[in-house]
Amino acid sequence: DTAVSQTPKYLVTQMGNDKSIKCEQNLGHDTMYWYKQDSKKFLKIMFSYNNKELIINETVPNRFSPKSPDKAHLNLHINSLELGDSAVYFCASSQEVGELFFGEGSRLTVL
Amino acid sequence: AQSVTQPDIHITVSEGASLELRCNYSYGATPYLFWYVQSPGQGLQLLLKYFSGDTLVQGIKGFEAEFKRSQSSFNLRKPSVHWSDAAEYFCAVGPDTSYGKLTFGQGTILTVHP
């Protein structure tokens, strides 16, 4: 069983479209995150949720909207996609300080 | 604001050689420090972490790291590198809460020659 699973692994879409990425963790962790890894491999936090409550919301355009229906799921919806949104988006979960378990990533390409 | 610098973008070593990857951090309080590894097409995996106590910490896959407060450094080492260690390595610093954000360095790509 994959501990943190994301779907889809690849998305290719046109500018202006809307897309969603889903994430599920079966580790029983309280905290989940979305990180964005750009083309230079720089990894930056976008959001974190603790027990379904939004804890961290970095300076992210409001076209990005996370949703946590329950503790095990954290989805990311992106409206009106732009070229600069092309990146790999990682979901992660944690229970212990700093010990993040990452999914395999979802590579988004905006054309 | 917290920040992490990994001065080496790319390091190449021969299999069996020793390895040291550098990490310098900036943090206002006592830092919690981490090293993660990312294999191609995969997510990141935690190698080791430092919270307090002994400044030399052991991790998985034979890695260790040493915290030096005076140098604001947390360098990763391995005595003998294996071809399977080829990957990208990320240093990170974070607060002492389980839901606080980690700030990652830019990563160091490790290439291992046979």
Backbone angles phi, psi at A100, to 5 degrees: -90, 140
pLDDT, tens digit, 9 for 90 and up, residues A50-82:
888 898 888 789 999 999 999 999 999 999 999
pLDDT at A68: 94
Is the torsion defined by CA of B87, A30, A48, A15 positive or negative? positive
Q: Which two tokens stand for residue B6?
A: 């990994």
pLDDT at A2: 72
Q: Which residue in the set A33, A41, A50 is minimally distant from B107, CB to CB? A: A41
pLDDT at B99: 60
pLDDT at B97: 63
Task: Give pLDDT < 70 ranges for chain B.
Answer: 96-100
Q: Which residue in the set A31, A40, A42 is minimally distant from B99, CB to CB? A: A31
Chain B residue with the nearest C-alpha to that of A97: B98
Contact residues, chain B, for A55 at CB < 8 Å: 99
pLDDT at B30: 77
The residue among A63, A72, A85, A77 whose CA lies nearest residue A14 is A85
pLDDT at B96: 61
pLDDT at A1: 65
Length of chain B: 114
Contact residues, chain B, for A41 at CB < 8 Å: 88, 106-107
pLDDT at B43: 87
**Distance between CA A6 and CA A101 in Å, rounded?**
12
* Nearest-neighbour CA in chain B from A83: distance (Å): 22
B67, B99, B103, best to mutate vs chain A, most A CBs in 10 Å? B99
Q: Which residue in the set B32, B34, B43 is minimally distant from A90, CB to CB? A: B43
B94 contacts chain A (CB < 8 A): yes
What is the 3-state composition of chain B as percent helix, strand, coil, each rounded to the nearest 5? Answer: 10, 50, 40
Is the torsion defined by CA of B35, B3, B51, A52 positive or negative? negative
Chain B residue with the nearest C-alpha to that of A54: B99
Q: Which residue in the set B44, B94, B99 is minimally distant from A102, CB to CB? A: B44
Is A102 close to B43, i.e. CB distance below 8 A? Answer: yes
**Distance between CA B23 and CA B37 in Å, rounded?**
14
* Nearest-neighbour CA in chain A from B35: distance (Å): 10
Task: Give pLDDT < 50 ranges for chain A.
Answer: none
